[in-house]
Amino acid sequence: QVQLVESGGGLVQAGGSLSLSCAASGRTFYAMAWFRQAPGKEREFVAATNWSGSSTSYANSVKGRFTISKANAKNTVYLQMNSLKPEDTAVYYCAASRVWNTPTTNVALYDYWGQGTQVTVSS
């Protein structure tokens, strides 16, 4: 059974930091990513990594503030979020691809999704 289980969301003041984790199990995954969805908005790309962690990509809105990393031994991907802003408030979703091994921003290329974790940044 394939599972992606996110953890680490919560409430933080603007300028603060949070770290999200996504533990994947059930099969081999390749590219993994974080997306987010704010109320009334479409799901948007945040960051992605290939299987080894040697190649990453970021949305312009988070570049320099967020860092995606991967612990292959644990089949876990992390998102370190620093200098958080109120506009970062959203439900954050972990995603994984069973085929692609490039850190793609295309939501359609990810086959598996976690249940989401809420991140709220107060001003």
Could you give the percent of the chain with pLDDT greater than 90? Answer: 89
- As a whole number, mean pLDDT of residues 75-97 equals 97
pLDDT digit string (tens) for 55-72? 999 999 999 999 999 987
Choose among 105, 121, 111, 122: nearest CA to 43.
Answer: 105
Alpha-carbon span 85 to 93, nearest angstrom: 18
